[in-house]
């Protein structure tokens, strides 16, 4: 019965208090429409530079061509698609970036609630008290009940609260782009590692074939030595060449195992935990069409530039907060409730209590602290501005390097393919001559050795072109804006 009385009393108090909130709502509306101190943030203009010109080879460059969000599918490798899908699902790095983004969003929600809305607090208590003997009056024992709802709201006359929320929104944008940057780096690293793993496998196979060819050549020369066909010096030269080729194999195997372990970690697995999908180098298709973005698009598309831009926006908002803090702050405080020794009369007219009044706090003297804080905020903005421009410079260098690498490595691969084709033709001709008795079998083995060496060089050139294309997609932003529901602002 007593609990029902308390509930009815609190309900009555809240209803009456809510009816008194009209004046506070008016002050809130005034506060939100008041001026905002400090600079209004403006996105810096894109650099006025011309797009780089590169020569087409087997890949065609197209200005303003869009990049698909899943750009790695352009290699037409189901195994590569599986690796990247697994990595995006299992990577702790992506999980950490996602959690940090959630944290930034909740901090924004907390600041919005704390700064833009009144703080309403319910306080209810009951005490049993005993008074001592005073002035000859006997001691008394009684109950005392208090219940009240209080509200406090700081008017955002100068925009300090709104600037803080503006900065919190910028922090969310920063973390959003940091997540995109982490996803882009992960997918690029997986693609590059998978290509390099396929390259090392191919190099291992070609080097083992080369070792066999040179070993067979040495065996034949040793037989010829007993017949006087070659000298001991020829034998030693061949042995030296064979051992030098054998020395190439351990580093290739070492790089293969290290790349395999790194790829396992990138997809969220322990090394040797589970066999990775096997990719052969010659099954990877080289994307035939490559994009060239104009400077304004690069600025919008690169996650690192957009993340740096968000930090610059956050620093700009902090200048506004520091400026607003130099002006008087007004807080509205109010309470409504009751105080009685009898619970049933807690909210009678005779026991009702209320208070309302503004509180003004104006900085008069603080030893120059507020001015110093504003100057510090301006200095932080200048630093963020410089860091932003450095990020833009580095990004454009990255794009230029990627484009030139694609162009020059394309020429290198063409040369290496010609060398491989020439070595193969020479081998076939030597075999025909051997069949006709025109040359010795030693010449055939020598031609095979040269051909296998040409294969290794062509493998390196092909892998370089594939990874160059990955780097270009990364340098241009990776196509995240083509994800469903995402657009570049």
Q: Which long-range contacts (CB under 8 A, 24 or more apart) does 2-11 make?
A: 2/343, 5/343, 5/344, 6/124, 6/343, 9/147, 9/338, 9/343, 9/346, 9/347, 10/122, 10/124, 10/147
C-alpha to C-alpha distance for 179 and 486, rounded to whole angstroms: 14
Structure pTM?
A: 0.85
What are the pLDDT tens digits along the chain (489 aa)?
445 554 555 455 445 544 544 445 445 555 555 578 888 899 898 888 877 777 767 788 888 788 899 999 999 999 999 999 999 999 999 999 999 999 999 999 999 998 888 888 888 888 888 776 655 555 678 788 888 888 898 888 888 999 999 999 999 999 999 999 999 999 999 999 999 999 999 999 999 988 998 898 888 888 888 887 778 888 888 898 899 989 999 999 999 999 999 999 999 999 987 888 989 999 999 998 888 888 888 899 999 999 999 999 999 999 999 999 999 988 889 888 888 888 887 778 777 888 888 888 888 888 899 999 999 999 999 999 999 999 999 999 999 999 999 999 999 999 999 999 999 999 999 989 977 878 877 888 888 889 988 999 999 999 999 999 999 999 999 999 888 766 555
Vertex 46 angle, CA 43 and 47, to 5°: 140
pLDDT tens figures, 403-447: 999 999 999 999 999 999 999 999 999 989 977 878 877 888 888
CA distances from 441 to 241, 242, 290, 426, 429 (A): 18, 17, 47, 14, 12
Find the helix or strand (DSSP H, E) in which 16 lies.
helix 2-19
Tokens of 360: 């003004």
Q: Mind listing the domains of the chain with CATH numbers?
A: 36-119+156-328+369-482 (1.20.1600.10)
pLDDT of res. 284: 94
pLDDT of res. 126: 82
Please name the residue that has the structure tokens 């130099």: 326
Q: b/e for 467-482, b at 16 or more Cβ within 10 A?
A: bbbbbbbbbbbbbbbb
pLDDT tens figures, 255-292: 999 999 999 999 999 998 788 898 999 999 999 888 88
Query: Helix (H) and strand (E) counts for the chain?
Result: 10, 6
DSSP 269-289: --TTSSPPPP--GGGSPPPSE
C-alpha to C-alpha distance for 463 and 252, rounded to whole angstroms: 14
Question: What 3-state DSSP class applies to 119?
Answer: strand
Of 306, 309, 193, 301, the C-alpha closest to 256 is: 193
Of 29, 328, 18, the C-alpha closest to 151 is: 18
Of 18, 38, 17, 42, the C-alpha closest to 156 is: 38
pLDDT of res. 11: 55
C-alpha to C-alpha distance for 2 and 215, rounded to whole angstroms: 101
Of 326, 328, 316, the C-alpha closest to 369 is: 326
pLDDT of res. 143: 84
Of 114, 154, 150, the C-alpha closest to 14 is: 150
Vertex 479 angle, CA 473 and 481, to 5°: 155
pLDDT of res. 232: 87
pLDDT of res. 34: 58
């Amino acid at each position: 019965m007593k609990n029902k009385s308390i509930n009815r009393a609190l309900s009555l108090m809240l209803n009456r208090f809510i009816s008194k909130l009209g004046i506070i709502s008016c002050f809130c509306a005034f506060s939100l429409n008041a001026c905002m101190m400090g600079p209004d943030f403006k996105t810096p203009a894109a650099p006025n530079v011309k797009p780089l010109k590169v020569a087409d080879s087997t890949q065609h460059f197209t200005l303003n061509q869009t990049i698909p969000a899943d750009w790695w599918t352009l290699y037409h490798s189901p195994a590569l698609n599986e690796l990247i899908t697994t990595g995006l699902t299992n990577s702790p790095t992506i999980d950490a970036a996602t959690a940090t983004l959630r944290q930034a969003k909740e901090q924004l929600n907390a600041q919005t609630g704390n700064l833009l809305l009144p703080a309403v607090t319910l306080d209810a208590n009951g005490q049993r008290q005993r008074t001592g003997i005073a002035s000859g009056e006997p001691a008394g024992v009684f109950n005392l009940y208090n219940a009240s709802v209080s509200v406090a709201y700081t008017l955002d006359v100068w925009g300090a609260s709104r600037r803080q929320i503006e900065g919190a929104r910028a922090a969310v944008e920063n973390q959003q782009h940091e997540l995109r940057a982490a996803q882009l780096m992960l997918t690029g690293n997986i693609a590059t590692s998978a290509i390099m793993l396929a390259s090392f496998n191919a190099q291992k196979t070609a080097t083992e074939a080369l070792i066999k060819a040179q070993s067979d050549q040495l065996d034949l020369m040793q037989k010829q030595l007993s017949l006087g066909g070659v000298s001991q010096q020829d034998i030693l030269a061949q042995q030296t060449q064979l051992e030098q080729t054998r020395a190439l194999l351990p580093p290739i195997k070492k790089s293969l195992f290290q790349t395999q372990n790194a790829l396992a970690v990138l997809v969220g697995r322990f090394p040797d935990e589970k066999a990775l999908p096997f990719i052969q180098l010659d099954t990877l298709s080289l994307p035939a069409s490559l994009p060239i973005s104009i400077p304004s698009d690069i600025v919008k598309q690169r996650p690192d530039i957009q993340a740096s831009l968000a930090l610059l926006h956050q620093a700009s908002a902090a200048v506004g907060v520091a400026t607003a803090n130099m002006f008087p702050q007004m807080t509205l405080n109010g309470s409504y409730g009751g105080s009685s020794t009898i619970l049933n009369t807690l909210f009678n007219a005779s026991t009702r209590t209320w208070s309302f009044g503004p509180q003004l706090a104006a900085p008069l003297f603080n030893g120059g602290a507020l001015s110093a804080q504003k100057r510090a905020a301006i200095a932080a903005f200048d630093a963020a501005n410089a860091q932003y421009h450095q990020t833009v410079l580095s990004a454009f260098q990255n794009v230029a390097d990627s484009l030139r690498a694609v162009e020059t490595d394309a020429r290198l691969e063409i040369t290496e393919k010609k060398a491989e084709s020439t070595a193969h033709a020479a081998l076939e001709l030597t075999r025909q001559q051997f069949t006709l008795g025109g040359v010795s079998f030693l010449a055939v083995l020598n031609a095979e050795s040269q051909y296998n060496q040409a294969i290794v060089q062509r493998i390196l050139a092909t892998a370089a072109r594939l990874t160059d294309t990955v780097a270009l997609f990364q340098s241009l932003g990776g196509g995240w804006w083509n994800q469903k529901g995402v657009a570049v602002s």
